[in-house]
Amino acid sequence: MPHSRFSAIAASHSRKPIEVVYPDTKTSEYFGMNVFDKDKMKKYLPKEAYRKVIAAIDEGEHIDRKIADLVALGMKAWAMELGATHYTHWFQPLNASTAEKHDGFLDISNGEVVENFDGGQLFQQEPDASSFPSGGIRNTFEARGYTAWDPSSPAFIVDKTLCIPTIFVSYTGEALDYKTPLLRSVSTLDKAAVEVCQFFDKNITKVISTLGWEQEYFLVDEAVYNARPDLYLTERTLLGHASAKDQQLEDHYFSAIPQRVKAFMADFEIESHKLGIPVKTRHNEVAPNQFECAPIFEEMVIAVDHNQLIMNIMKKTARKHNFRILFHEKPFKNINGSGKHNNWSMATNTGVNLLAPGSTPKRNLLFLTFLVNTVKAVYDNQDILRASVSTIENSHRLGAAEAPPSIMSVFLGSQISKILDEIENKVTDDKMTPDLKTELKLNVGKIPEILLDNTDRNRTSPFAFTGNRFEFRAVGSSANCAGPMTVLNTAVAKQLYQFKKDVDAITIDGNKRDEAIFKVLRSYIIHSKNVLFEGNGYSQEWIDEAASRGLTNITNPVQALEALLTENVEKLFTETNVLSKRELHARHEILVERITNKLQIEARVLGDLANNHIIPTVIKYQNILIENVKGLRDLLPADEFEVLAEPQMDMIRRISKHKTIVQTKVVEMIQARKRLNKIEDSTEKAHEYYVTITEYMKEIRHNIDKLELIVDDDLWPLPKYRELLFTN
Ligand code: ADP
Ligand code: MG
């Protein structure tokens, strides 16, 4: 039988790039061709239905059944012209992927086969959803979940299937997905931000949140991947000694993209463009075989859908190119992990980016207002923000010297910091003189010029201001952006409501409006100072300093998730109507159970690799050494034998030592799991799993990796790091 490792390597070396079929028109001509967007609605819907759908998209107005029937008819006509045969509700359940259940348009009417799709089918489906996580919300006697059409996300066609973006809720109306709370958070942020914008400009009546994500990923050749059960069962390597060369020469970032990879990229970009996803950037990342893609930012809900969709397309396209794509946050030990930076801002109906400075003092005060409120929201909500990115996968990455630690700090850059200092120092509690006000306004007015040559780029901050947006960098590569974005929107919304109240309160006291704004901003700047940090976020000094500033730093994901159960967080979400207490607790339950399940799987896979792959190999090699020593003893005089056999004897001893540790620890780990499985409380169970099983896994791995260095390369059964990272 061929050795699976070596045949895999041979297969990966023999590959040629797959040819890409490029469309024969410009991108702008096929961009969005597979999306039922406004233009297509206009063409395929009767006037009244078109108007109603646009009102639903823009104002959240209700659509009745009659209109839904008309929309369904138009959608079906459009979809069938593009060859679609099926439709599905497309939703984002809480198990971190997307779900779909396809139904054919096919129907029988009066004994004849017809294509059918009506408003009822567009509106609602009842997927047999009892196998999606619900955190106890769905009782066994009422296992139904509903998917309901979300007209704010356009329908699209993938593989001849019309996909209708929906939300997913329980029989009792509770959210079972990522989308529902995201939509609620977008709408509460809209309300709060408009209230504040009205201080500055009465024409601002709508504020949308914007998101531009940057998706990092690894590619591994399919044959090599298939020879690594840990990769295909857990998406990360549970063992493997570092390659002699990995990223230390810093020669991968932004270097030429390998041909096979470029073909893959071009292929998934073409399909993405047809689906209206504005992917723009592609490049190599820091680690070997690590890459990134990023689109132009979009309205948040659409951007979230597009990220989920593109991840699916990338998975599918990778297979076509004989790759497997890894979205895991840390597939390889001691090598950079993958994140998904979330670039976030807010934009008004008047075309203003609220986190971009403008050309007048008034515009800049508006900008500073949103900036300072965001800083305060991050400071006051650091624990729930951390919880929003805390998964077992991301816990391998955060603080691992290439990603921000689990401390939430904000980077502003020296120029903006200077302006905040000035407000802090010059604004007073008593009445401000006209001269002072003019001075402050003039200085605020200078912001855009200053920012022009502000080249500050701090890559080590988890939450950085980057000129016209904040970049939340702690988000993991496999995450659904909706999780962290829901928290951020909600935290900022709550803060903006508070700001409105605070300004109103002292405006009544006889302050002029702008004076009141300056005063409230000053109090916020003083209040949130501790969260601002401009230095190296990866350093030990920062970890110490953050502790002395009272910032929290929680690396254990189970502990981090406890934030969801605190009174403050409950207030945050219930006051803003984004999540009820029951929904919050259900989410917590799902997330901690996920940690236990993931660790359970990893521990099993590692146990299997150790017992059935590594130990037998190690024994084989040890026997070869023993045979060799015996032969030398027969051949050589005793004194010479002792000298010449010693290195082999040493290897035999070292192999025995590591092998025995691996064997003992695997047995102990299995026993520990049996013991922990009896724990009833799911949080305690996850915590114990995290603390205990992770340690066993580390120790087992350490010893296996030592064995990898001793055992004959010809015998080693699993592709090594160099083969996983350097074949492309
Ligand atoms: P970098 O690697 O320097 O962070 P990229 O160009 O890779 O920059 O990514 C920046 C992302 O930020 C892009 O998706 C871009 O569209 C997005 N972005 C720019 N302006 C905004 C904004 N106002 N709101 C949200 N995202 C934005
Ligand atoms: Mg970035």
Which atom of ligand 1 lies nearest, measured to the CA of 345?
A: 24
The residue with greater pLDDT, 511 or 162, is: 162
CA of 343 relative to ligand 1 center, distance in Å: 6
Task: With a cut of 90, say whether residue 297 has pLDDT above it.
Answer: yes
The residue type at 147: T
State residue 728's pLDDT score. Answer: 63
Radius of gyration of the chain (CA): 29
**Beta bridge pairs of residue 158:** 161
Residues 506/497, Cβ–Cβ less than 8 Å = no
For a mutational test of ligand 1's pocket, the pick from 343, 367, 411, 481, i.e. the residue with the most ligand atoms closer than 8 A to its C-beta, is 343
- Rounded to an integer, what distance in angstroms lies between the CA atom of residue 728 and that of residue 288? 10
Nearest ligand, CA 475: 2
Looking at residue 138, its pLDDT comes to 58
User: Which among 318, 357, 135 is positioned nearest to 215, based on CA atoms?
Assistant: 318
Would you say 234 and 601 are in contact if contact means Cβ atoms under 8 Å apart? yes
Secondary structure (3-state) at 462: coil
| Those residues with Cβ within 8 angstroms of residue 181's Cβ, 6 or more apart along the chain or in another chain | 175, 482, 486, 578, 579, 583
Predicted pLDDT of residue 276: 98
- What is the position in ligand 1's atom list of the atom closest to the CA of 468? 23
| Tokens describing residue 436 | 């002072």
Asked if the model's pLDDT at residue 158 lies above 70, the reply is yes
- The pLDDT of residue 1 is 40
Please tell me the predicted confidence (pLDDT) of residue 59: 83
Query: What are the boundaries of each domain within the chain?
Result: 31-177, 186-579, 594-725
Class (C level, CATH) for 186-579: alpha beta
The closest residue, in CA terms, to atom 14 on ligand 1 is 212
Which tokens sit at 554?
Answer: 């929680």
Is 534:412 a contact under the CB 8 Å cutoff? yes
- Three-class SS string for 629-684? HHHHHHHCCHHHHHHHHHHHHHHHHHHHHHHHHHHHHHHHHHHHHHHHCCCCCHHH
14 backbone dihedrals φ, ψ, rounded to 5°: -90, 0
Q: Provide the pLDDT confidence category of residue 254 given band limits of 50, 70 and 90.
A: low
Q: Which residue has a Cα nearest atom 24 of ligand 1?
A: 345
Structure confidence by residue, pLDDT tens digits, 597-618: 999 999 999 999 999 999 999 9
Average pLDDT, the chain: 92
Share of the chain above pLDDT 90, in %: 78
**pLDDT, position 450:** 64
Is residue 454 over pLDDT 60? no
Q: Which of 189, 214, 489 to mutate to test the pocket of ligand 1 (most atoms within 8 A of CB)?
A: 214
Interval between CA 278 and ligand 2 midpoint (Å): 16
Q: Which ligand has its closest atom nearest to the C-alpha of 297? A: 1
Tens of pLDDT, residue by residue over 10-23, are 999 999 999 999 99
Residue 213 β-bridge partners: 342
Q: Is 383:566 a contact under the CB 8 Å cutoff? A: yes
Using pLDDT thresholds of 50, 70 and 90, give the confidence band for residue 3.
Answer: low
| pLDDT for 443 | 78
Confidence of residue 136 (pLDDT cuts 50, 70, 90): confident
Amino acid at 272: S
Closest CA to 498 of 572, 602, 554, 558: 572
pLDDT digits over 654-695, tens only? 999 999 999 999 999 999 999 999 999 999 999 999 999 999
Give Cα 142 distance to the centre of its chain: 32
pLDDT recorded at residue 60: 82
Query: DSSP assignment of 505-558, as one string?
Result: HHHHTT--HHHHHHHHHHHHHHHHGGGB--S-TTSHHHHHHHHHHT--B---HH
Index of the ligand 1 atom closest to the CA of residue 295 = 14
Model confidence, pTM: 0.95
The structure tokens listed for 651 are 């290897």
**What's the pLDDT score for residue 135?**
76
Span 255-279, mean pLDDT?
94
Nearest Cα neighbor of 655 from 702, 696, 706, 691 is 706
- The 3-state DSSP composition of the chain as helix, strand, coil percent (nearest 5) reads 55, 15, 35
Ligand 1 centroid–CA 374 distance in Å is 18
Nearest ligand to the CA of 351 is 1
> What one-letter code names the amino acid at 205?
T
User: What pairing do the DSSP bridges indicate for beta strands 470-472 and 340-348?
Assistant: antiparallel
Query: In angstroms, what is the span from residue 415 Cα to ligand 1's centroid?
Result: 20
Q: Residue 17 C-alpha to ligand 2 middle, in angstroms?
A: 29
- The ligand that comes nearest to the alpha carbon of residue 292 is 1
CA dihedral 400, 403, 409, 410 (to 10 degrees): 160
What are the tokens at 64?
Answer: 């009745």
Highest averaged pLDDT of the listed ranges 49-63, 347-361, 366-380 = 366-380
pLDDT at 435: 84
Q: What is the pLDDT of residues 384-405, one digit of tens each?
A: 999 999 999 999 999 777 788 8
Residue with tokens 């990023």: 294
- The 10s digit of each residue's pLDDT in 214-235 is 999 999 999 999 999 999 999 9
Task: Decide: 564 and 387 in contact? Cβ < 8 Å.
Answer: yes
Average pLDDT, integer, range 555-577: 97
Counting Cα atoms < 13 Å in the Cβ hemisphere of 509 gives 14
Per-residue pLDDT for 414 more than 90? no
Amino acid letter for position 1: M
Multiple choice CATH, 594-725, 1.20.120.1770, 1.20.120.1560, 3.30.70.1230, 2.40.420.20: 1.20.120.1560
Q: What is the DSSP letter of 434?
A: H
CATH number of 31-177: 3.10.20.70
Among 272, 325, 328, 264, smallest CA distance to 296 is for 272
207, 299 in Cβ contact below 8 A? no
**How high is the pLDDT of residue 246?**
73
Q: Examine the pLDDT at 2 and tell me if it is beyond 60.
A: no
What confidence score (pLDDT) does residue 170 get? 86
Which residues sit opposite 323 in a β-bridge? 221
**In 198-277, where does DSSP find H-type helix?**
222-226, 229-234, 259-274
Tell me 178's DSSP state.
Answer: S
User: Mapping DSSP to helix (H, G, I), strand (E, B) and coil, where does residue 88 land?
Assistant: strand
Q: Determine the Cα–Cα distance for residues 211 and 155; give it in Å rounded to an integer.
A: 20
Residue 485 · residue 213 · CB < 8 Å: no
Instruction: Compute the residue count for the chain.
Output: 728
Give burial (CB, 10 Å; 0-12/13-18/19+) of 407: buried
Locate 562 and state its tokens. Answer: 């406890």
- Kindly list the protein residues whose Cβ atom lies closer than 6 A to any atom of ligand 1: 210-212, 214, 281, 294-297, 341, 343-345, 353, 468-469
Q: Which long-range contacts (CB under 8 A, 24 or more apart) does 644-653 make?
A: 651/625, 651/710, 652/622, 652/625, 652/626
- Closest residue by Cα to residue 32 from 270, 210, 293: 270
Taking the CA atoms of residue 400, residue 403, residue 406 and residue 408 in that order, the dihedral angle to the nearest 10 degrees is 160
- HSE-CB at 569 with a 13 A cutoff on CA atoms is 26
Cα(404) to ligand 2 centroid in Å equals 13
Residue 167 and residue 467 in contact, taking contact as beta carbons nearer than 8 Å: no
Confidence at residue 362, expressed as pLDDT on a 0 to 100 scale: 87
Angle, CA 621 vertex, CA 616 and CA 623 arms, to 5°: 95
What is the distance in A from the centroid of ligand 1 to the CA of 378?
20
